Amino acid sequence: MRKVVKFGGSSLASAKQFKKVGEIIRADEERKYVIPSAPGKRHMHDTKVTDMLYECYSLAEQDKNFDVELKQIRLRFEEIITGLDLALSLDQEFAEIARRFKDKAGKEYAASRGEYLNSIIMAQYLGFPFVDAAEVVLFDENGRFMADATDKLLGERLAALDAAVIPGFYGAQADGTVKTFSRGGSDITGSIVAKAVHADVYENWTDVSGFLIADPRIIDRPEGIETITYRELRELSYMGATVLHEEAIFPVRKEGIPINIRNTNSPDDKGTWIVESTCQKSRYTITGIAGKRGFCSINIEKDMMNSEVGFGRRVLQVFEENGISFEHMPSGIDTLTVFVHQDEFIDKEQKVVAGLHRLTRPDSIDIESDLALIAVVGRGMRATRGTAGRIFSALAHANVNVKMIDQGSSELNIIIGVSDSDFEAAIKAIYDIFVIAQL
Ligand code: ASP
């Protein structure tokens, strides 16, 4: 067995956290390839090192003095080194960073130094070789990640090493220019490494014990999700469940490598398994509930619209011309409703209405704001009768007025539109009927 282990920023924010990570790695000799993030927050009001680096570099970019800011960053690392009793000097690294900041090496170079330095410390702490991501994670001249070339190079390089520490979040172009993934991108690096070494599992260690059935800010101590498929996860993360970077599933998914989300602060918890497919039934009919607020619906009415060829296309053309993407589009015989993000729509509202009048000649247009969408997701729904019935009777009992229902033909999810003011009550009602009532 070969495991790739990625540790998030809060798992590596201090020497105390590093020690927990060391114990986790040493407890299982299959944990051979380690991907660290930059030090995150030590407490709620702390600042992530990545943010400190962005801040510091913005001074350098404006030709302002950044000595104090860089020193503060250095202190974060020194505190870890001292706490771990390591004989490691970062003099050379910081001299180089200061020089390259002055040369305006770029914002992405700056941001990447958090992962770079943390990985040097981790490699020394574990006694593992350090492999700089800039040498093995490749980007093309347009700044696009080169998946195949990276997979080949990384695979060859790591085949020669039976253990390694590889910094997350960044790579480089052929000319050495450092590029980063989007924020939270160390998750992606972990997945890329897992694919390249044909790992049996990609363990992603963070500060929660995996995915929860519902948002803990709405449901008091919700149950965790033991196993979730990639497709279910896509649905839930799109609707706001954020534990893992959205793009991190793609490299391992292609190889059928499962991801195990684990908690550094509670290493005995099994966490959540993310898998391609499973015959394991989820404990409840549903796997998870997630939701997003801040939607508008634009309801277009026109007699006989369903026999007018091209009507739907013309409606969507108006949204496209205004650069607005739509979320859902339920329709009736003489009505069609388009759900959009309120913040994308609000400034262009009157232009859209005028466009719809011009292109579709409707009988009426009606706009409603402050709506929320809730996704009830579960691979178990397909095989269970009455799921939709249970959801809607629970919502009716909770006095929630359902404004829209959309069930994909995959029967993997049911999307429900409600008023923003009913958002939390609706999630509670659904959680109660599927989880609490089953306990
Ligand atoms: N350190 C980077 C960030 O804060 C990347 C990561 O942690 O995954 O976004």
Average pLDDT over every residue of 428-434: 95
Higher-pLDDT residue of 271, 438:
271
How many residues are listed for the chain in this entry? 439
Q: Is 180 in the pocket of ligand 1 (CB under 6 A)?
A: no
pLDDT score for 412: 87
Tell me if 359 sits within 8 A of 314, measured CB to CB: yes
Q: What percent of the chain has pLDDT over 70?
A: 100
Contacts 24+ apart (CB under 8 A), 49-54: 49/9, 49/73, 49/76, 49/114, 49/118, 50/9, 50/111, 50/114, 50/169, 50/183, 52/76, 53/110, 53/111, 53/113, 53/114, 54/107, 54/110, 54/111
**Residues 297-328: tens digit of each pLDDT:** 999 999 998 888 999 999 999 999 999 999 98
Q: Best mutation site among 48, 186, 247 for ligand 1, i.e. most ligand atoms within 8 A of its Cβ?
A: 186
Which residue's CA is the nearest one to ligand 1's atom 6?
184
Q: Is 168 in the pocket of ligand 1 (CB under 6 A)?
A: yes
Looking from the CA of residue 8, the nearest atom of ligand 1 is 7
pLDDT score for 289: 95
Tell me if 54 sits within 8 A of 108, measured CB to CB: no
Beta bridge partners of 295: 341, 371
pLDDT value at 62 more than 80: yes
| Tokens encoding 405 | 């229902």
d(CA 163, CA 31): 8
Alpha-carbon 84 to chain mean position: 31
pLDDT score for 386: 86
pLDDT score for 73: 98
d(CA 147, CA 34): 20
- Side chain identity, residue 50: T
Average pLDDT over every residue of 148-158: 97
pLDDT score for 43: 94
Q: Is 210 in the pocket of ligand 1 (CB under 6 A)?
A: no
pLDDT value at 361 more than 90: yes
Going from the Cα of 185 to the center of ligand 1, the distance in angstroms, rounded, reads 6
pLDDT score for 382: 83
Question: What's the pLDDT band for 180 if we cut at 50, 70, 90?
Answer: very high
Q: What is the pTM of this model?
A: 0.87
pLDDT score for 277: 83
- Side chain identity, residue 293: R
Looking from the CA of residue 51, the nearest atom of ligand 1 is 4
Q: Is 186 in the pocket of ligand 1 (CB under 6 A)?
A: yes
Q: Is 229 in the pocket of ligand 1 (CB under 6 A)?
A: no
Which of 115-124, 225-234, 236-245, 395-404 bottoms out in mean pLDDT, i.e. has the lowest? 236-245
pLDDT value at 234 more than 90: no
Q: Is 355 in the pocket of ligand 1 (CB under 6 A)?
A: no
**Residues 370-394: tens digit of each pLDDT:** 999 999 999 888 888 888 899 999 9
pLDDT value at 12 more than 80: yes
What is the H or E stretch that residue 233 is in?
Answer: helix 230-238
Q: Is 190 in the pocket of ligand 1 (CB under 6 A)?
A: no
Q: What percent of the chain has pLDDT over 90?
A: 86
Going from the Cα of 2 to the center of ligand 1, the distance in angstroms, rounded, reads 25
Average pLDDT over every residue of 347-374: 95
pLDDT score for 238: 81
CA-derived radius of gyration, the chain:
25
pLDDT score for 332: 85
